Amino acid sequence: MSVPESPIRVEVTTEYIDDQSSPDEDKYVFSYTITIINLGDKKATLKDRHWIITDGNGEQTEVQGDGVVGETPTIPPNSAYQYTSGTLLDTPLGFMEGFYGMVTEDNKDFKAPIPMFRLAAPGALH
């Protein structure tokens, strides 16, 4: 049985926050801006999120919770929702991936995958 394709596309941009980071203390702060695009023909509401954050040592942290940045946005067809959040790593390089739990206006639950993206401090990649 195949899993239906999500009508949601997720795009990500990242930024290293130099003035909040402290490499001497293994503290690397990153922001990420997520754009959630509804390519479907029904409104979709973001109910929850599930992240897997992997640092440069392979250590994984899972983060789950309701909504994003305190909101549970409803995204109409052919529209997008954007937010910015952040994370702290112990290493200058890491990755994030996961999914959003969504529900359509006709009450169908689905997962919108968040493709893996890289977090990298300047000079972390040679």
The DSSP output letter for 40 is S
pLDDT, residue 46, reads 98
**110 is written with which tokens?**
């689905």
d(CA 38, CA 23): 38
pLDDT, residue 124, reads 76
pLDDT, residue 59, reads 96
Candidates 60, 125, 53; CA nearest to 85 is 53
**85 is written with which tokens?**
């959040």
For the chain, give the number of residues: 126
pLDDT, residue 1, reads 46
Contact 86, 53 (CB under 8 A): no
Instruction: Give the list of residues 6+ apart from residue 74 with CB closer than 8 angstroms, or none.
Output: 43, 44, 45, 46
The amino acid that residue 7 corresponds to is: P
Averaged pLDDT, groups of 10, the chain, 126 residues long: 74 97 97 98 97 97 96 97 97 98 95 97 80
State the number of CA atoms in the 13 A half-sphere of 52 facing the CB.
Answer: 10
Residue 77 CB coordination number (10 Å)? 13
